[in-house]
A and B are shown apart, each in its own frame.
Chain A
Amino acid sequence: MSAAPAAGAAKKVLAKGNEAICHGAVAAGCRFYYGYPITPQNDIPEWMSAHLPALGGSFLQAESEVATINMILGTSSTGNRVMTSSSGPGISLMQEGLSFMVGSQLPAVIVNISRSGPGLGGIAPSQGDYFQATKVAGHGDAHLIVLAPHSVQEMYSLTMLAFDLADKYRNPAMILGDAIVGQMKEPYDPVPYVSPGLPEKTWALTGCKGRASRHVKSMFLTDGAIETHNWKLQDKFREIRRAEVRSEAYMTDGARVGIVAFGTAARVSKTAIQWARKEGIAVGMLRPITLFPFPEKEVRAFAEQVDAILVVEMNTGQMVEDVYRSTTRHDRIHFFGKPCAIPTPDEIFERIRGLAGGKR
């Protein structure tokens, strides 16, 4: 179990993706973690239980994911940085609390190292929780900020970013990963955390000494108040959509075939793209790093540039709907996905070759 890199460490650190999330969290000042075991993310609570006490923080294995998300809500309401992690079934149980946190405007980082299939499903890596993460955080027009790392480096740095975005917008943020990014081990650069200078948490509950008492709540009963509150939340989501889109353009120069993929599917696609480029096929990838907000403009421009788009996902077709939504060039869009297995570079390469046809 790798220790967190010391602040300002210059050397690269060899770590598992799940551990890098923990390193990023403590670097960003997170000292509170609550969670409930579920495969394939158990490295995270295990790491936190071993390291948080020495950092003056608190780890607690909750009795359930339902309790977990409410412990998160409680600690967040005091203005402290707090994190949990889980996988599909556990995230489903957290949805009521997540909706409350969105409604109450409380920040936190929620990690979903997702698993495959509905129900108990399996522990194979999957991206089947895309809709849940980006569209249905919980009941009632709620959204999470969703980040999708595809490397150990990003498991570290996007976790730090998730804390900042959560605090900046007072909204829960999710890291959406899977067993591959969680379990793979590679060196990463432990860039020190730099605070972006966030506003003071003038809403935090700390006891009302020397000031008026405060309320953290999601219910607004007076005439029209709930509507006003909801428009305020929607304005915030609009601002997030405007200001926080992140994506990577990979080998897109001169590309005639374009891949759109995130997380592990994007990682595998990169290998296929390298092979195809070696054969002289002009292919590149647009990789959404933020899934909410979705890089709509970037996808639209990409669809204008290429002759065909291949959306690769580890599910039966979810993000592809956002790709359709972002462009009118629907006849260019193709899909390749598997719900409970990783597409291999060969499979993706074959499809690229098919789409490239004679055009090289």
Chain B
Amino acid sequence: MKAAQKTIFSKKVFDRPATLKDARFHYCPGCHHGTIHRIIAECIDRMELRENSVGVAPVGCAVLLYDYMDLDIVEAPHGRAPAIATGIKRALPDRFVFTYQGDGDLASIGMAEIVHAANRGENLSVVFVNNTTYGMTGGQMAPTTLLGQKTSTSPYGRDFRSEGYPIRMAELLAGLEGVAYSTRVTVSSPAHIRKAKEAVRTAFEMQLQGKGFSIVEVLSTCPTNWGMKPLDAQKRVLGEMVEYFPLGVFKERKQADFE
């Protein structure tokens, strides 16, 4: 009895991934950035990519990516991460290159860079965190802000007549020839986290197999700027957000174009 118990308790089932530094996240309680960092770190560990990776950190709440991930990382101007990743990948085609970008970063100021990197089929991976707002600068309207959603710059709620409609990036990019993989996931429940991890792994595999551009859009929380308790924020993701931003795979290329 005693011996059996010992084996159970000595078996490690949960540990800090080597790619994740022993540092405390600065993110707000209930924010998903931390969870998404962990998923990336676990995938990099499992795929043994740590020593072969160059990451591109965004502007936004995740600007301090290099404080958490034990990888070579370069800091990008707002929205330009896909262009920087292009420059890295062309110089180092055998390295694993990824960007981590928020929705203000990728879908607003950096719209041209993401569309063109995707369209060129740059062989790199993008993790796109969609929390329907600009977190770092204090909760202003993002291109992904839902209709009716109040933000600090849409105080009456987003109205399509003046601000247009929320952009569905995963679908938009899936329409481009150069894209190998485009999917949307959430991390709002353990089951969703497992699926998100599989998506990130698939996206990274695409790059390793030279299939071209891959992107994982992750629906994420910003309890602070949404003015919500963490648990209510989770509910918003699985309710209102998933309704407008459906989960699923929008494109998955089976074979590399360049074989």
B174 within 8 A of partner (CB):
no
Q: Give Cα A72–Cα B69 distance, bound, in whole angstroms.
A: 24
B258 to chain A, nearest CB (A): 15
Q: Is B113 a contact partner of A219 (Cβ separation < 8 A)? A: no
CA distance A215 to B64 in the complex (A): 11
In the complex, whether A184 has a CB less than 8 A from a CB of chain B is no
State how many angstroms separate the Cβ of B61 from the closest Cβ of chain A.
13
Measured between beta carbons, the chain B residues less than 8 angstroms from A68 are 83
Say yes or no: is A230 at the interface (Cβ < 8 Å to chain B).
no
- 0 or 1 for each of A226-269: is its CB under 8 Å from B? (1 = yes): 00000000000000000000000000000000000000000000
Which of B4-12, B32-40, B70-78, B151-159 lines the interface with chain A? B70-78
List residues of chain A with CB within 8 A of the CB of B73: 205, 213-217
Q: Is the CB of B63 within 8 A of A216?
A: no
Chain A CB within 8 A of B200 CB = no
* Contact present for A213 and B91 (CB under 8 Å): no
The CA of A215 and the CA of B74, in the complex, are separated in Å by 6
Q: Is B84 an interface residue (CB 8 A)?
A: yes
How far apart are A347's CB and chain B's nearest CB, in angstroms? 44
Nearest B residue to A79 via CB reads B91
Our pick among B52, B75, B84, B86 for the contact of A209 (Cβ within 8 Å) is B52
Q: How far is the CA of A73 from the CA of B66 in the complex (A)?
A: 17
**Is there an interface contact between B77 and A100, defined as CB atoms closer than 8 Å?**
yes
Whether the Cβ atoms of B72 and A60 lie closer than 8 Å is no
Residue in A63, A67, A82 whose Cβ sees the most chain B Cβ within 10 Å: A67
Q: Is the interface of A mostly helix, strand, loop or mixed?
A: mixed
Contact of B91 among A67, A74, A100, A217 (CB under 8 A): A74
Contacting residues, chain B, for A206 (C-beta < 8 A): 54, 72, 92, 95
Is A217 a contact partner of B80 (Cβ separation < 8 A)?
no
Q: How far is the CA of A67 from the CA of B85 in the complex (A)?
A: 11
Partner of B50, one of A76, A100, A208, A215: A208
CB contact between B90 and one of A58, A66, A214 (< 8 Å): that residue: A58
Beta-carbon nearest neighbor of A217 in chain B: B75
Taking Cβ atoms with an 8 Å cutoff, the residues of A that contact B are 32, 34, 58, 60, 62-64, 66-68, 70-78, 80, 82, 96-97, 100, 104, 205-210, 213-219, 221
**Could you show 16 A-B contacts with beta carbons less than 8 Å apart?**
A67-B113, A67-B116, A70-B113, A74-B85, A74-B89, A75-B88, A77-B74, A205-B73, A205-B74, A205-B88, A207-B95, A208-B50, A208-B70, A209-B52, A213-B71, A214-B72
- Please give the residue numbers on chain B whose beta carbons come within 8 Å of chain A beta carbons, in ascending order: 50-54, 56-57, 63-64, 66, 69-77, 80, 83-92, 95-96, 112-113, 116
